[in-house]
Structure 1
Amino acid sequence: MFDEFFEKIGLRSTNGVPPGGDDHDENRRSTRGRVSDRIAGVPPVTRALFARIASADARAVALALVLVLSVPAMAIGSVGATATTQSGAIEISTVDELQAMNDDLSADYVLVDDIDASETATWNNGAGFEPIGPTANGSFMGSLDGNGHEISGLTINRPDENHAGLFASSYGDITDVNVTDADIVGNNQSSISQTAILVAELQSATVENVTVEGTVEGHRNTAGLIGLSQGSTVTNVSGDVSVTGEAYVGGLIGDASSTSVSNAEVSGSVEGTYERIGGLVGYATLGEISDSSSSVDVTGEQVVGGLVGETANTDISQTFAKGDRKG
């Protein structure tokens, strides 16, 4: 069987004598060329196998071809496939995979391991991690289930961009994740900027069972957890943060519009150079805040509060604030 196969693909002379003699090396080179021509359509994993045995005898190469082609196509096609859960969520276990979420902004994702993101400090010439769902390419519309895992050492240094955070803009739910030792720098001049550790801008989504720790520097709508939240639910969240901005600055949320906040607590420091500076939320309107607390030192020029800098049509219950307040 093999002799007939070898003859058909040109690896055996018609008289049954394999290439050899004084022209042995030339025969091997021409043989490889013929094999290469005949396997141009073979999957990369197969071609890689031939690259590793390129110096082998022509008959051995051909035999390898027979064996590899006998492997079911399904098995070959599975090599390098993206891992998913039974529910269809894409599994994330490395910082590179986390960054690759930008390749599909409508997918569901789940963390399957803690992620050390400290190397992002050197990415993109010091600009760090590229926020997921950059507004130029569309917002994040999928979901992230952190599965209780931690993302540590995240660096984002984008003082010329209006959205800085693990997520730039998200309409998708984010749950059960801890982001620690984060260093986030956003636009320090624009009045339409949003900066936070988790989400710069959250729209009509849920953030639940999330913890953030780190430093945040921005301008407007700057906070530890969410810069700007509209029509969303934020529950069972906490933070230990140092936040600096100009206006609409909060320990967890900078500007909360039509947003429900419950079971939230924060510690650390919040400093604003102008107005609407709060330990928990900088500015809250048309929403509710319940069962929450702030243990934050707050500094601002005007409209400063230990819990909320300023509220409008917001129900507040079962909350308290402690810590120094200046302004």
Structure 2
Amino acid sequence: MAIASGKTSNLTQGGISIADAIIGTDGSGLISLQNNSGDRMTITGISIDGADNNFNKRIGLGSRFLFSLSNLENACSCAGNEGKTKTCEAVIYYTSGSGIGKKDTYSVTIECAATALAANNGGAVDTNGVITPEGVVFVTLSSPSAGATVSSNSTNFIFNVSASNSLSSCDLLVDNVSRAQLTGVVNNSSNTITYNLSALGAGLHTWDVNCVDTLGISDSPATRNITYTIIGTDTTPPTIALSSPSDNIFSYGGTTSFLFSAGDNNDLQKCILLIDGVDKNEVSSPAQGSNSIYYSIDSLSFGTHIWDINCIDYSNNSAKASASRNLTLARVESDCTSHSAGGYFSGGDGSSTTPYGICDCVMLQKIDSNLTARYALLKDINCADTINWNSGKGFTPISSFNGFLDGNAKTISKLYIRKTLTEGANCERGGIFDSILSGGKVQKLAIVDSNVIVFIGQYNSFALGTSWCNNQSGGNSGEVGLLAGINYGIISSVTVKSSGVGPNMNGTGGIAGNNSGTILNSYSTANVTSNSSGAGGFSTTCYGTTINSYTAGTVNGLAAGVLVYNGGPLVNSFASGRTVGSTYTHGLTGYVGSATNSYCDLYRTEQAECGTGTGVNSGNSNPTWAYYDTNEPMASWGTWTNISGNKYSTTDGNWSICRGAGYPWLTWENKAC
């Protein structure tokens, strides 16, 4: 037989050491390996001079085990070499506790003898004292089972152990740390170690048992996961704050990262992404603090959806964010194809989930074929050719719209509308829509460089970006606005700029001639002119509501203001454009009106006061006064919080400001400071 000349001290490499080795002339052998890594490992193979023996034996922390080798006749053979020495290569293959495959290579010097050895049940066969007596320790876990949830503070951990030698002790390992020890171990039997898990807190933990015999041989099986839940003591729910996407944002599909922060007085079991109240995806054992859940929103229908996060701790307390958020899945420009859907539109069926697509001005005009459908602009559209439509009359205003037009954050430019009436006739309504009914809504749309011209009798030439309803001959006028003549519905997040509205008797406004519905989160930089009567930055006649909006264009009329004949509330709004008029003219409201937390810049409006109605803020003649959210009434628009640098926003997502560097602006404008 051959005897390894080296011992553990000089045959240690990596996490494995060779304690002893014997190779006989009959091709059999024994090799004793010791785990020095501080981690559990599984021996998968032993190769002696290229002769392989395969194994699947787990060795516990610090334990030794004797392996029986065979088929070594032509490898490290001692045949004919009795009494001589030789060197053999030993390669040990193993996987670590984390499943990483490794190998260690050793050069072993041996002496050869004639007597052969055999292994016996994994224990050593002692011949001439060459191999240190070995033993076997084998541990199996019984309870708690893998994946179990335990709620008792003092938990019984039950295991079985069998050993060929006397047992010294068994350690309970929780989260890979020894937590308790049993010294009176009963061999070949069931044993129990009791430990109070409350010191570790609720959450996911691992447990294992490592048993050692009197020779130092040990074994510990694979770990088990358990969940410890504190029952009856922890009643505090998690706290969740949504981070991204921001509220009311538009998305165009794809995998979206939903960011949030979560916290709990113990550990979190999981957090779930809810869209429209339905579980879509979740993250297990989320961290305290920032987390993300990914989900492809391509499977959602087009339109607005509500998303939220629901987190559950290990005591089964659960909570959602204090406020959910809206996410709108929009159709995209690549959807623009032929005029096929509904006979006129680019895809869709006009429903709330799949709106008709608008890709050009012809499709825009065809909205009048279905006044209750839902539409979405899929791209910016240039309507310059409308000046040649209808023998020079241009685009025909759409009457009685009771549907939904989603501007999709796109722009309509260079739209041309002209109405010509005989002297003394009524001046009809003018705008993309001559009327929006109570069930109608237009949102997220920009109108630029467009002309709406309605006149009677002789008129002078007009400048690009101007609209007129000229009552020079004394007829009765209607309402004219770049978006609508009269609005009974909802106009939200609409921009009118580089455009204008002109002379009209009853109502000439930048956005709508008459607003009897709601205008919110919108702004106008249009120049509004009336040769005969009222001119309003938003609208002239307002019996509806205008909220969180502003104007910056020039308003010029006999009576002038942001709202002239104002019978409805004006809330959290302001004006900074020049206002010119001969009577009933003020910086904010013209003839009559009331306002809440609204103001005008007296310096730039060139007026002595903002208005005479109830609650109209007197404004300030200092042009930089409005640059600070700390001044009233801006301070009352909401709770302002610092975003970065000098950028501040209200927590309700309506207003932002670059403090000290300009007027407030609507947060959806997404300006940089």
State TM-score, norm by structure 2: 0.34
SS at match of 1:129: coil
1:282-293 paired onto structure 2 within 5 Å: 282-285=564-567, 287-293=568-574
* CA positional deviation for 1:324: 4.0
Structure 1 residues 324 and 79: alpha-carbon distance in aligned structure 2, compared to 1, 3 A threshold: closer
Q: Of residues 565, 573, 587 in structure 2, which corresponds to 1:306?
A: 587
Change (3 A) 1:307 1:159: farther
Contact 2:575 2:605 in 1 (8 A): no
- Alpha-carbon separation, structure 2, partners of 1:247 and 1:298: 14
Deviation at 1:79, TM superposition (A): 9.7
Equivalent residue number for residue 598 of structure 2: 318
2:402 alignment counterpart: 141
Which residue of 2 is the match for residue 109 of structure 1? 375
User: Equivalences for 1:47-196 in 2 at 5 Å?
Assistant: 80-82=340-342, 83-84=347-348, 87-133=353-399, 139-160=400-421, 161-171=427-437, 172-186=440-454, 187-189=469-471, 190-196=475-481
Which residue among 578, 598, 606 is the counterpart of 1:297? 578
Residue-pair matches, total: 237
> Partner of 1:249 in structure 2?
535
> Which consecutive residues of structure 2, in runs of 5 or more, have no partner in the other structure?
1-337, 422-426, 455-468, 609-673
Say if 1:249 and 1:255, in contact at 8 Å, map to a contact too.
no
Q: State the Cα distance separating 1:200 from its structure 2 match.
A: 0.6
* TM superposition shift of 1:243: 1.1
How far 1:326 sits from its partner (Å)? 6.9
Q: For 1:162-199, what per-residue CA distance to the aligned partner results, in whole angstroms no more than 9, with x for missing partners? A: 11101101111111100111112123224341111011
- State the Cα deviation string for residues 245-294 of structure 1 (Å, max 9, x = none): 1223101111101x11111111121111x3x311x112211x21122111
CA displacement at 1:320 relative to structure 2: 2.5
SS at structure 2 position matched to 1:305: coil
| C-alpha separation in 2, matches of 1:79 and 1:96 | 9
2:492 to 204, 208, 229: 208
Q: Which runs of 5+ in 1 are unaligned?
A: 1-77, 134-138
Distance apart, 1:319 and its partner CA: 2.5
- The DSSP-based 3-state class of the residue aligned with 2:578 is strand
Native 8 Å contact 1:233 1:260 kept in 2: yes
Provide the rounded CA distance (Å) in 2 between the counterparts of 1:103 and 1:79.
Answer: 13
For the pair shown, the structure with the greater C-alpha radius of gyration is 2
Residue 52 of structure 1 corresponds to none
Equivalent residue, structure 1, for 2:70: none
The SS at the match of 1:296 is coil
Kindly indicate whether the alpha-carbon contact (under 8 Å) linking 2:395 and 2:416 is maintained by their aligned counterparts in 1.
yes
Q: Which amino acid aligns with 1:102?
A: D
**Given that residues 587 and 607 in structure 2 are in contact (C-alpha distance below 8 angstroms), is that contact kept between their aligned partners in structure 1?**
no
User: Is 2:341–2:356's contact at 8 Å kept on the other side of the alignment?
Assistant: no
Q: Say which structure is richer in strand.
A: 2
Q: Which residue of 2 aligns with 1:277?
A: 560
Distance 1:284 1:243 in 2: 17
- Counterparts of 1:225 and 1:100 in 2: how far apart (Å)? 22
Cα–Cα, structure 1 residues 283 and 116, in superposed 2: closer, same or farther, change >3 Å? same
- Supply the AA of the counterpart residue of 1:217: G
Alpha-carbon shift at residue 237 of structure 1 (Å): 0.6
Change (3 A) 1:324 1:159: farther
1:165 aligns to what SS in structure 2? coil
For residue 395 of structure 2, give the secondary structure of its aligned residue in structure 1: coil
* Structure 2 match to 1:217: 502
Higher normalized helix content (fraction of residues): 1
2:555, 2:576 → 1: CA distance? 10
Q: For residues 147 and 112 of structure 1, what CA distance do their matches in structure 2 show?
A: 7
Distance, in Å, in 2 between the alignment partners of 1:219 and 1:225 is 14
CA shift digits 1:60-111 (9 cap, x unpaired): xxxxxxxxxxxxxxxxxx9933411671421111110001111111211111
Higher relative contact order (CA 8 A, sep 6+): 1
Deviations 1:2-27 (A, max 9, x none): xxxxxxxxxxxxxxxxxxxxxxxxxx
8 Å CA contact retained: 1:128, 1:156: yes
**8 Å CA contact retained: 1:277, 1:283:** no
Question: Aligned AA for 2:560?
Answer: I
- 1: distance between equivalents of 2:401 and 2:339? 28
- TM-score normalised according to structure 1 size: 0.68
* Shift in Å, 1:222: 0.2
Alignment partners' CA distance in 2, 1:324 and 1:292: 15
What amino acid does structure 2 have at the position aligned with 1:290?
Answer: V
* Secondary structure of residue in 2 paired with 1:125: helix
Q: Which residue does 1:199 correspond to in 2? A: 484
Cα distance in 2 between the residues matched to 1:196 and 1:315? 22
SS at match of 1:102: helix
Question: What is the rounded CA distance, in whole Å, between the counterparts of 1:256 and 1:108 in structure 2?
Answer: 26
RMSD: 2.1
Distance 1:315 1:307 in 2: 9
| Offset, 1:300 | 1.4
Task: Output the amino acid matched with 2:549.
Answer: A
| Cα separation, partners in 2 of 1:317 and 1:191, compared to 1, 3 Å | farther
* 1:186-223, Cα deviation, whole Å (9 max, x unpaired): 232243411110111111x1110000020212312001
Code of the aligned partner of 2:418? N
Work out the CA distance in 1 between the residues paired with 2:528 and 2:357.
32
Which string of whole-angstrom CA distances, capped at 9 and with x for unpartnered residues, describes residues 18-58 of structure 1? xxxxxxxxxxxxxxxxxxxxxxxxxxxxxxxxxxxxxxxxx
How far apart are residue 311 of structure 1 and its match? 2.3
- Cα distance in structure 2, aligned partners of 1:235 and 1:99: 25
Cα contact 1:112–1:149 (8 A) shared by 2: yes
- Per the alignment, in what secondary structure is the counterpart of residue 367 of structure 2? helix
Determine if contact 2:503/2:533 at 8 Å carries over to the other structure: no
Distance 2:552 2:420 in 1: 25
Structure 1 position 318, deviation (Å): 3.4
Q: Distance in 1 between matches of 2:570 and 2:607?
A: 23
* 1:212 counterpart letter in structure 2: V
